[in-house]
Each structure stands twice: as structure tokens, then as C-alpha cells.
Structure 1
Amino acid sequence: MGEKLPVITNKEKKHLLNNINGDFHSAELTAIMGPSGAGKSTLMDILAGYITHGVTGQININDKVRDLSAFRKQACYIMQDDNLQPLLTVNEAMMVAVNLKLPSDLSLSEKAKKVMEILESVDLGSDRETKTFELSGGQKKRLSIALELVTNPQVMFFDEPTSGLDIVASKQCITLLKELASLNRTVICTIHQPSASILDLFHHVYVVANGSCMYQGSVNALLPYLSEVHLTCPTFHNPSDFLLEVISGDHGDYSQILIQKSKNGLSQRWRSEIPYSAKNGLREIYQTPVVTQPPVQLTCIKDTPNTYSTSFGHQLLVLLKRTFLVISRDKTLTYNRLLTHFCIAIFIGILYYGIGSEAGDMYDNFKFMFFSAMFLMLTSFNCVTTTFPSELPIITREYFNKWYSLKSYYLALTFADIPVQICATLLYGSVTYFLTKQPVESFRIVSFLFMCVLISLVAQSFGLFIGACMDVKNGVIFGPFCMLPFTIFSGFFVQLNACHPSMRWLFHISFLKYGFEGMVLSVFGYDRPKLPCNSEYCHYSRPEKFLSNMDMAKSTYSLAVIFLGGLIVAIRISAYFVLRVQVRRSRGKRR
């Protein structure tokens, strides 16, 4: 790999890597080292194919220019944060991985056997039924590795694999990576400041500083390399600490000297071959081999039209099952939502008890329906605004590592939450409808509940769209403001005929107006007979008179259904394309 990496940062072109060179061998564990901001993660992202834009130069595999699409099928990238589904058990997470990453014609028993082999190899066999949020940091890291071992990748990239781990867990993690490399894999990881014992586990060190290579070679040759320029590491001093001191200029400015000495990564003088005995004589801390199948040569695999191991339909089924499982265990998103709708329904039903059967309470009934529309809109919207921001790191990892297509993930996530939202809406609508004593006519009941569901699904769609556009903080703050115009122009606060002509178009795009009108029409429309009046005079004894005064006499239920249904489809399609952009941007942000 060579040449430069120009990246646009704050509208200025900046070279993050400068004409660096290097090579990484199979059966070798490589540490990319350097201080913060040196370009370690940028180099790793380029090698893994995580960053492709703004890069010049060439990456070869076995002396041939890399075919990135084919390469990504044989490689995996395990990032610094262990982005796992917290409510799945270890075994469930592994079964999702094998069902997505292995051919669908493989039997369930074969998949289960492979899962058990991999879990035993990473010392997680006894934790199969443990939920991932209950795992320790080291166990989460091993599970992240196990998930990618399903496809037996030949090149493995790790970004700061020891981050957040104690010295014991860190050493176990790097020892595991060394075992993976011993099976003829190329294993590359970034690491900031390893201890001396951890540094000794690496075969190869690649040192980056200010976007240039200051050393490429074996661990044993590092100190002799530095001593050739009169930099002597004190006795009992951690070599990695001394190296960072040199890079930081604590011992003088040796940056250009070391870059020239290593020929910016081109020199092979300090590389050393790993003896065959060393490859097979590693100290084992796990009892079973990591994989039972021999690795394949990178050059033997060519790109195929099928980007993923399984079909779109199979991916959708697996992801739907996973999402339903997560939703069923999520108390906040599922059970609390149902409980909230039920409790508010009881409260509102008692507050407006019996208003639907008396002409004198017509306007109170009108206010009840508007509150119901508002409540359903806000709860449906707020429940999903954090969905994509919280899931984005998981999507990015799994999508980049070729688990599934983004379309299958998006459809699974959006479809899975619809039944829960519909159940919550029907629960609220049914309880309030009968407590407020609305007309007991089947077509009115169905029309009212159906309109409630449409309002909820439109608001949910907007929540998904806002969640795809913004992070959690901005979504929570600015999301409700996006709902404000729909509320103002709903026809409750200001009616269409009383509004300034220049603003009337806003009524025609307010989904809450159409939903609210649909609810009112389902109760008061369709030639409902005169309501009984318990007072001397009831101005709105006839529902058609009330509809006329509320500027709803010419409104139609079917138009509301068509508008809201079309809006649901349009917003969800838009949210998908926004999510695509966000996934790509999340990769670019790592620069």
C-alpha cells in the first residue's frame, strides 16, 4: 500500500497518511502502534475497506490489486466498541450469525454444532445462555470475535481490541488473536500502549506517527532498530512506552530520521520470518481449535453476483425473528408502552365518561377525540425516535461484515414494531371508545379504531425518519418540534376558513388534520341521528350541524385513509434512504 490519503476536514484538504508503505503476512499477528491522532485507525479503516473515498495509492493481495468486493467476503472488521444486541443470549446471537452468514441449505444441527465449536474455542461454552449485556468486557470481545469466525475469515482487523480491558483480559484477548493468526490468517490490530508482556505476543509491529511509518519489523528488532540512531531504551522500561516517548519528541526530534531509516515502511530489513515450530507451538489457553476447517487462499475466491451468503427472503425471516425476540424482552419499548396506553385510556375514559351519548357534551366529545389523536401521535413518535441512533453501531458492523442487506434489516426492524404499536393503539382506542359511550355500531367502531391506527403508524413513520436523520440527543430535542406544525394546522385550534389564505396550504399537508377529521366523521358522520338532549336546549343536537360549524361537512373518510396510507409508505421509503446515507456517514466520521 502506498501514496497519500487526502481527506476533506473542515472544508480543508488534509493528508492523514503520507506515502506510507507496508506489508502484512499470513500466520502473523500485527500491531499498528502510534500515539493518538497518528493515523492508526485511518490506516486500519483503509486496509479493511471501511474507508474508500478520498484514498489514493494501491493495496495488493498476493501481488495482485485488491478486488475490494471479493476481499470483504474473506475479511472481517471487529471495531473497538463491542456492539452487540444486549437482550440476546450468547447462543442466540451466534445462531443469528450462522443463519445469516452460512448457506441456508445447511442443516440446523450442523449450524448448532459449529456454534458450539466456536464458543468452546473462545472459552464461552459455559456462557451460552447468558445475555450479552451480562458479559464482562473480555467476554464481549471474545463473543464479537466468535460472531465473525462463523465464516472462517482469512483476514481479521481489530480496532483497539484491548480497550477497556484489564491486563489479564487484555493478555487473554491478544493470545487468542495470536492463535487465530497461527491458523494461517492475517490478523491486524491497532493498539495504543501495550504492556511489555502483551507486546511480546505480536509477530510484527507497524509504527505510525504523523501519517508516516517510523518502523516496520519484528518486536525483537524494535529496540536494536532504535539503538542504531542512538536511542537506547532504559533497562526494565516498557519498550512501547519508550517508543511513544521517542515519537512525542521527549528524546529529541527523531521523526524524519526514523521515517527515512524505515523508508516510510518500505524497508524489509527488520522483518523476520516466523519459524514453523513457532506457528504450531503457541501456548494454548483454550482447549479446542478455533476452526475445524483449513483456511483457503485469498486468490482462490473470486467475486460473485451473490453479495451475501443467503437470500433476501431468508435474511428478512432471520432478522424478523431476532427483532421480535428483542422486542418481546424489551420492557421499556413493549410492556411499558402497552401499560401506558391502558392507564391513560382508563384515566381519559373516566374523565370523559359517557360524553358520547348526549348532545350537550358534543364539544367535549370533540375535545376528547383531539386529545386522543394528539396522544397517539406523540407516543407513537417518541417510542421510535431512538431506534436507529441506538442501533446504528450494530447496523454498521453487521452490514459492513456482509451479514445482510440494508433493505432486509430495515424492513425487519420497521415491520416488527408495527404489531406492538397497533396493539397499544387498539387497547387505548377500545377502552376510551366504550367508556365515553360512543355509538355502538360496528362500522363506526371499526372506522374509529382504524383511523387511530393510521394516525399512530404515520407518527411512528415520522419517528423513524427523524431517528434516521438525527442522533439521540437532537432527535429527543428537535423531534417534538417537527410535530408542532401538524398540531397547529389540525383544525382544532384554527379552522381552515378562519386562517389567512397564504397559510391554508399547511392544513392540506397536516396528517393530524386528516386523522382528526377521520375520527370525528366515524363518530358524527354518515347520517347519525339526532342525539338526546338532557338540557332545555342543545345547540348541537344534530351531528351534521356540528360538522358544518367545525368546517368538516365536506370532509371524507376515504380521503383521510388514502392520504394517511400514502404518507406511511412515502415516509418509510424516505427513512430507508436516509438510513443508507447515515450508515455511510458513520464510516466517514471515523476519519
Structure 2
Amino acid sequence: MTTDHSLKLPTRNVLTGAIVNWDDDEMGVLGDNPENLTLAWKDLSVYRKKKTQTSIWRSPVYEEVKVLHGVSGIVSSGNLVALMGSSGAGKTTLLAAISRREKSAMTGYLMLNGRLTGADFIARISGFVPQQDLAIEDLTVAEHMEFMARLMMDKRSTKIIRSRRIQQLLGELGVTSCNTTKLKALSGGERKRVALAVQLLNDPPILFCDEPTTGLDSWAAAAVVGRLRKLAAGGKVVVCSVHQPASGVFELFHKVVLLANGRTAFHGTIEEADHFFASLGYKCPVGFNPAEYYVSLLGIQLDKELESRERIRRICDEYQRSEIAAEIESKVGDVKDEVEYFNGTSNAKNEIFDRYLTLVKVNFFVQFYWLMWRNIQQMKHNSTIWIAEFLLFMFVGLIISIPYMGHFEELDQRDIQNVEGLLYLTITETIFLFIYAVFITFPSEVPILLRETASGLYTPGPYYLSKMIFWIPRAVIEPTLYASLIFGVAGLHGGFMGWLGFCFVCILCANYANAYGKYLNL
């Protein structure tokens, strides 16, 4: 089995339309996108390794399983397309495959306007809204959008351009009133629309959404899908994986791709789906949700597994023989054998390509600056917690030092042992408190770190450096006050130099604990 094709970019124009210049004061409105853009996939198969543990004494055996079976399809500008199917049907896998975010082995072809394209190019011209939005929830919507815009948009874009783009998106998506609201206080629908706004910052012509209605009530789901339909009407290609939308939400989609057991069961409009299933004797009952009916037809009932599998096989086979499938195959067309790489020459160059392929990412230092900025904003919103932790630290120091008051006026062997005990308690409490502080806060950010670095928002280096430097003032000031409290209350000897050495050791331990705690959490 061969792996997926190497990255190949088209030599002729695949994107045409209005130009949005990074130097302009205005950016395009939602829908200011190329027309006649088609994204097609042909004979697409995905393979995953299934782990089988035959014995606890033997190494696991990995078996290659085919999860998508040579599916083909096509979507074009102006269409909102739903990928549907029961659990395990392959809709999320197909979405990941055509968005080139699938890391498993693949065979087949992915094309833009009939020419092969690669993962890097698709990533540059598309946005991907994940099912679960991961973000620092203590930030407000305005702060979150400012942070994302500064790292996602071209570094040549000015502050005015970024600000206008953010306000434009929030207004178009109906969340302007949430500007000063923390992300954790948003409703599910508002959170989805903010995540959508982030992916639209660079105004990509293609948008992928992984189950955008999951966890939302009918009204919120309709609002989100309605916004997606508006984006599609403006000229974008919008592809969503959805599980089982309400009937009102289902009708908002222009086309639907139904999957079952990794095969295409149908690909076309909702009206065509009704006629197709009716011709097979599966007419949707009056008043019944068509989406729910189709998904139930393509699902496996545990008490009727053989019957269900036979029904699914028949539907998929009938679709492959249908005129609808033949028309889809005709639109997808034959893949050309001779495909040259996009090389930026005058005969291949396109101004729309320039917008995405020449987008300049911010450098290491800008990434570090804005990660520090996000840390500071997060601290401001959690100032009460920081004050409480500081007071707790001082209280622990007081508890440790009070029993030793007056015991060090005349040192003897017993008092020396007491000093050793006090020093041990001081250092261990410093280390444990700073390690626990990292353990409480840092693990919750690891999924965000992995998501944002995988999407190319920033690299791990500036993130880790920003966290280390951000904690240094706290790991200097708090141990100094903590050590001073213990030094004074317990009555330790040594004068200024003794106090300075005591503080210095506590500061070193605090910073060591901070760094070690972050290392353990990575």
C-alpha cells in the first residue's frame, strides 16, 4: 500500500476573485471570496492501525484497518455541505482527510479545480473549527481575538486593520455584545461563533467545521448553521460533519454526504436524497426528521446486525450505480498524471495565491511577546486567586516559624538540630508549594498548547520561555518575603549576609520547583 501523494500545488489559477491587500485600510467583508472554487476528492481511502493484545507476555500486534473505502465527492463555492452518518461511519475521518489534518496512511487524490493539491496548501487557504474549542477561558472575547489575530494574521498588517477585522467578524457573527465577556461565561452557541470568528481572521475561501452543533440546543444550533450558510452564500466552500441535526437545521444545508461503514451512501441535495431513498423503498415518513431517518437507516441495530449490514450494503451499492453518483464522478473528472509544482513564476503566479502563500508569520520574539501578554491578562483576571495563594504561603511560613521563636538566642547542640529542622521545613515547603502551583494550573493548558502548536500558531520554545519568565517575579518576590518572615519570627542568626543567603537559597528552590513542575507536565 502506498501512502498519500506528495504535496503538489496547481500550476494554473485555482482561486480567482477580489483581492484583499494587507496594506489596505479595509479588509474584505465576509464572503469576499473567489468564485467557482471546487474541492474534490477521488478514490480516497484511509488506513489506521488497530492494536490487538494477544497475550500479556507478547508485544501487541498492529493490524491495518481500512476506515474509508475509496470515496469520491465534490463541493463548490456557495455551498454548505453536511457530512453525516451514524457513529463510526467515517464522517470525521473524511473531514480530517479532505482538510489534510488526517495523519493516518491515505491513498487517493485531493484536488482544487481539477488539479492535485497538498496538505500545506490546503492548510494555508482553509480554516478548521474543531468540535471542542480549546482556549484560555479567563480571557475576554476581545482579548482572545486580539491574541489570535496578532499571531495568525500577516505580520505586516497594522493594528487598525486587525482591529477592524475583529470588529467586522464579531458583528457579522452576532457576538459584538460579548466583547468584554470572559470565554468561560459564553453560551455554547456564542462560544462556537467566537471559534468561527478566529478561523475567519484570514478570510479563507474554504472552511471545515467538525460537528459545530454538538452540545447546542435547537435554537443555538440553527443560529450557528445559519451563520455558516451565510458564509457559504458569500462564496466560501463550507464543509461540516454533523451527527443528527434537527429538521430545521438540516434544511439549511445545500448538500449532504451520507456515509456508512466508510462508504458513500449518498451525495447530493436534500431533495435528491428524498427521491433516492424513496426509490429504494425508504421514503421518509411525513413529519419525521429526514436527517434522523437517514442516519437510522445507515446505522447498525445490535439486535438486527446482519439485516442492518445488508441494508447498508444495498443502499451503498445502489448509490454507486445511480445517475447521481455518475454525475458526481463526471464532475470530479480524471486526475491528470502530469502535475507540476507551483513555482511562483509569472505564468503560474496568482494574486490570490500571493495572499496566502506569501503570508508572513510573526517571528520568535513576537510570539514570545504576545504569549507573555496573554499570561499577564490571565493573571489580571485571576488576581484574587493569586493574592489568596500568596497569603496562604505567608501563613505557612508563620506556622513553621512560630514554634522556633526564642530558641536560637544561645545555640547549643539541640538548637542546631532545631535549626536544621527549620531549614528543612522551609526548603521543602517552598519546593512543594511552587510545584503544586504549577501542577494546578499548567496541566489544563497542555491541551491548548498542543492544539495551538499543531495549528502553527506558535512554536513550543516561546511558550515555555514565556511561562518561565512570567513566573520568575513570583518565584523571587514570594520566596523573599516568605524567607524574611521565617528569618525574623524564628530569630535566625547571621545578620544581613545570613538573611541574604537564606533568601537566595529559597529563591533558587522556588525557580527549580517551577521549572521541574513544568517539565513533569509536558
Per the normalisation by structure 1, the TM-score is 0.70
Partner residue of 1:4 out of 12, 23, 45: 45
**Equivalents in 2 of 1:234, 1:271: separation in Å?**
30
Partner residue of 2:426 out of 351, 357, 372: 372
Residue 367 of structure 1: CA displacement? 0.4
How many residue pairs get aligned? The number is 444
Find the counterpart in structure 2 of residue 129 from structure 1.
Answer: 180
Find the counterpart in structure 2 of residue 33 from structure 1.
Answer: 84
Instruction: Check 1:397–1:260 CA distance in 2 against 1; reply closer, same or farther (3 A cut).
Output: same
Q: Does 1:323 align with 2:365?
A: no
Partner residue of 2:393 out of 341, 348, 361: 341
Whichever residue aligns with residue 267 of structure 1, its letter is: A
Note if contact 2:401-2:486 (Cα within 8 Å) is conserved in structure 1: yes
**Equivalents in 2 of 1:203, 1:272: separation in Å?**
20
Find the counterpart in structure 2 of residue 578 from structure 1.
Answer: none
Note if contact 1:38-1:209 (Cα within 8 Å) is conserved in structure 2: yes
Structure number with higher helix proportion: 1
Partner residue of 2:286 out of 231, 235, 249: 235
Instruction: Check 1:69–1:407 CA distance in 2 against 1; reply closer, same or farther (3 A cut).
Output: farther
Whichever residue aligns with residue 446 of structure 1, its letter is: L
| Residues 248-259 of structure 1 mapped to structure 2, 5 A cutoff | 248=299, 253-259=310-316
**Equivalents in 2 of 1:272, 1:29: separation in Å?**
21
**Equivalents in 1 of 2:212, 2:199: separation in Å?**
14
Find the counterpart in structure 1 of residue 443 from structure 2.
Answer: 389
Q: Does 1:244 align with 2:295?
A: yes
**Equivalents in 2 of 1:302, 1:133: separation in Å?**
32
Q: Indicate the SS of the match to 2:235.
A: coil
**Equivalents in 1 of 2:483, 2:294: separation in Å?**
68
Residue 434 of structure 1: CA displacement? 1.8
Instruction: Check 1:388–1:14 CA distance in 2 against 1; reply closer, same or farther (3 A cut).
Output: farther
1:178-234 deviations in Å (ceiling 9; x for gaps): 111112111111111111111111011111111111111111111111122222111
Instruction: Check 1:370–1:249 CA distance in 2 against 1; reply closer, same or farther (3 A cut).
Output: closer
* Root mean square deviation of aligned Cα: 2.6
Note if contact 2:405-2:489 (Cα within 8 Å) is conserved in structure 1: yes
**Equivalents in 2 of 1:447, 1:259: separation in Å?**
77
Residue 60 of structure 1: CA displacement? 1.8
Instruction: Check 1:109–1:248 CA distance in 2 against 1; reply closer, same or farther (3 A cut).
Output: closer
Find the counterpart in structure 2 of residue 161 from structure 1.
Answer: 212
Residue 300 of structure 1: CA displacement? 5.8
Residue 71 of structure 1: CA displacement? 2.1
Q: Which structure 1 residue ranges, 5 or more long, are not aligned?
A: 274-295, 469-591
Note if contact 2:80-2:239 (Cα within 8 Å) is conserved in structure 1: yes
**Equivalents in 2 of 1:366, 1:147: separation in Å?**
55
**Equivalents in 2 of 1:212, 1:449: separation in Å?**
67
Q: Does 1:182 align with 2:221?
A: no
Q: Which structure 2 residue ranges, 5 or more long, are not aligned?
A: 1-40, 52-61, 302-306, 332-349
Per the normalisation by structure 2, the TM-score is 0.79
Instruction: Check 1:218–1:233 CA distance in 2 against 1; reply closer, same or farther (3 A cut).
Output: same
Instruction: Check 1:442–1:215 CA distance in 2 against 1; reply closer, same or farther (3 A cut).
Output: same
**Equivalents in 2 of 1:385, 1:12: separation in Å?**
37
Find the counterpart in structure 1 of residue 481 from structure 2.
Answer: 427
Q: Percent identity?
A: 24
Q: Does 1:140 align with 2:194?
A: no
Whichever residue aligns with residue 451 of structure 1, its letter is: V
Q: Indicate the SS of the match to 1:103.
A: coil
Structure number with higher strand proportion: 2
Note if contact 1:217-1:272 (Cα within 8 Å) is conserved in structure 2: no
Whichever residue aligns with residue 242 of structure 1, its letter is: Y
Instruction: Check 1:297–1:123 CA distance in 2 against 1; reply closer, same or farther (3 A cut).
Output: farther
Residue 350 of structure 1: CA displacement? 1.2
**Equivalents in 2 of 1:134, 1:321: separation in Å?**
21
Q: Indicate the SS of the match to 2:510.
A: helix
1:377-399 deviations in Å (ceiling 9; x for gaps): 11111111244431233234433
Note if contact 2:209-2:241 (Cα within 8 Å) is conserved in structure 1: yes
**Equivalents in 1 of 2:75, 2:87: separation in Å?**
22
Whichever residue aligns with residue 314 of structure 2, its letter is: I
Find the counterpart in structure 1 of residue 56 from structure 2.
Answer: none
Mean CA deviation greater in 419-428 or 244-253: 244-253
Note if contact 2:124-2:356 (Cα within 8 Å) is conserved in structure 1: no
Residue 368 of structure 1: CA displacement? 0.6
Whichever residue aligns with residue 395 of structure 1, its letter is: L
Note if contact 2:368-2:466 (Cα within 8 Å) is conserved in structure 1: yes
Whichever residue aligns with residue 296 of structure 2, its letter is: E
Note if contact 1:77-1:401 (Cα within 8 Å) is conserved in structure 2: no
Q: Indicate the SS of the match to 1:231.
A: coil
1:342-387 deviations in Å (ceiling 9; x for gaps): 1111221212224444313111110011111111111111111244
**Equivalents in 2 of 1:311, 1:191: separation in Å?**
37
Q: Does 1:217 align with 2:274?
A: no
Partner residue of 2:320 out of 253, 257, 263: 263
Residue 18 of structure 1: CA displacement? 1.6
**Equivalents in 1 of 2:294, 2:50: separation in Å?**
29
